Amino acid sequence: MWTAITREVSPALGACELSYIPREPIDVPLARAQHHAYQQTLLNLDCQLLCLPAEPELADSVFIEDVAIVLDEIAILTRPGAASRRPEVASVAQALRHYRPLHAMEAPATLDGGDVLRVGRTLYVGESARSNAAGIAQLRELLAAHGYVVEGVVTRGCLHLKSAVTALAEDSLLLQPAWVDRHRFEQFRIIEVDPAEPHAANVLRVGDRLIMPASFPRTRQRLLDAGFKVTAVDVSELQKAEGAVTCCSLVFQVD
């Protein structure tokens, strides 16, 4: 069974952290409606949904993926690269403790969950402005006893590794070659985003189904042509906050 943990949109979303996109006004009621449709999509894909209440003072808290990494055996509580986001961790820890043993990262490590791409027993971690070398080393140490391999990957021009590459299947990736070196993933089948849709590489995999933003129809068609099952969701207001579809949930299996 798949479980998805989400968090409601903060009324302070308009004050979110931004790095690579210009600030625009965000329609928070519309963002909430879009987020609810996203949650319904997870339910339609047979996820058991746990929704945490909004954090009124934590603008980015809807992007719950960044504060934890949930693996089969354990969950790692991260130390987000933006100091404003570190208070988000405590409430997510309370939710996750019912599903996995917890381990927490400590200073000087910084690491965002959006920088962590898991494929099989390998975790690729973006070397980004949000995730530092100490964070990658600490993650490697925490997971060594569980048989995971942790590999750093250089990113450029984007917030997180999963802005540039996400998993479509165990042997296939969706990739934006302008933001990450394609040759770094040469053992995989690679589908590149349509050049007209540079932000389209972030898709959420739930079993054999994919969720992606509705604003990237050309890339979606590439995935459909390749045989993937894709559901499009409108997350335009969340995209103004430099969010996408992976960052709005923690999705994992529960026996």
Q: Give catalytic residues, as residue numbers.
A: 160, 247
Structure tokens at 65: 């993926």
User: Letter for the amino acid at 141?
Assistant: E
Q: How far apart are CA 99 and CA 93, in angstroms?
A: 10
Tally Cβ neighbours within 10 Å of residue 215.
16
**119, β-bridge pairs:** 122
Q: How far apart are CA 27 and CA 146, in angstroms?
A: 43
- Alpha helices by DSSP H, listed for the chain, are 28-44, 89-96, 133-143, 161-164, 217-225, 236-239
- Strand ranges for 59-176 from DSSP E: 68-70, 75-77, 102-104, 116-119, 122-127, 149-154, 165-169, 172-175
